[in-house]
Structure 1
Amino acid sequence: MDLQTAAAIAPLLGWAVHGGILTRRLATARRDPLTGLHTRAGWTTRAEHNIRRHPHAAVLLVDLDHFKTLNDTHGHAAGDAALIATADRLSTWCDHHGTPGRLGGDEFVAVVRDLAAVDLDALTAALHQPLPYDGASLPLAASVGVCPLAELAAPSLTDALAAADAAMYAAKGRGRRGSRISR
């Protein structure tokens, strides 16, 4: 290879390396560093895709109950362990049926392709399993709100999240530790 050709290729190689680095950084930015779940941006893209393609899709909103108390009583490391456990349990429950995400704080979200194909009671049971931590058993609880997309006049992610949020707060109002489907 002559010097002129090498000089022409060098900038292209640099841009290719730079593009690869940017692609990896973007992928990393769409994942929550603590739980490994999709962040809001990454999850939203997948959720909108599922909503368009699957008429029986549903959006779930999950909020840990008494998380602040757990964090204040047992420390931030215990709080992080609770968040990681919740993410793992939600991911396991979603399995091949949907996509979980973390919106922030102690709020999680999922979109499932077919609500009839999943067991909401199993999710609630999994989210309420105590967490073994530092020789103790920490109680975990979560409220789950569900919005089946078929119940919306015009299925949109924004409306589904709002309805799931309302259903989640209704579940909290019923004494927490449960799930509720929007109606």
Structure 2
Amino acid sequence: MEKLIKNLQTEELNTKENWEKEQKEFDLMILERTENLKNQREKEVADYKYELDTTYKIEADQFTEKRKNLERELKDIDFKKNKDWNNRENFLTQNNAKLNEYKTKIDNADNEIQEATKKAREEAIKNASREAKIRSELWEKEMDGTKQVYELQIQTLENSIEKHTTQIEKLQIELKEALTQVQSLSVKAMK
């Protein structure tokens, strides 16, 4: 009888040790899986951020190039306008004798022509500047919208990671509770 009790106690002790060993191995496996999942998610977020930054830099470089081209076009337009204006002034200087001859007849008309020419020149420069500014503002707004979309996507990924982590922790707690109950029932059953 004593031998039977001793055998049962030894078997119970061995069973308990096996359960503890299995529990430790299971806890270690869960910890490793959780760590691997966390590392994988962090890598995905880092890769996504890198891709976003690269895309944003490329688009920013393209925008800078477009802006430089527009500025160059504006300078060309301004240069041509100034050249035309200088040609007109040279023409007026070369034909000064004729201008003086007809000055009394067309004095008022000449002032109006000069004013209209000046106004047209200023208007052309304003229009070109306005158009370039509008293009620039539209592109900047488009870039801001794209950036906001990418930031929302990153936030969604981070929220998903946090949700999965919470679920894993909850499942670990439930699993530990279930194992504790199984052990408790097994011990009771052995008695």
The structure in which a higher percent of residues are helix is 2
Q: Which has the higher contact order (CA 8 A, sep 6+)?
A: 2
Which structure shows the bigger proportion of residues in strand conformation?
1
TM-score over 0.5 (shorter chain): no
TM-score (norm 1): 0.24
Normalised by the length of structure 2, the TM-score is 0.23
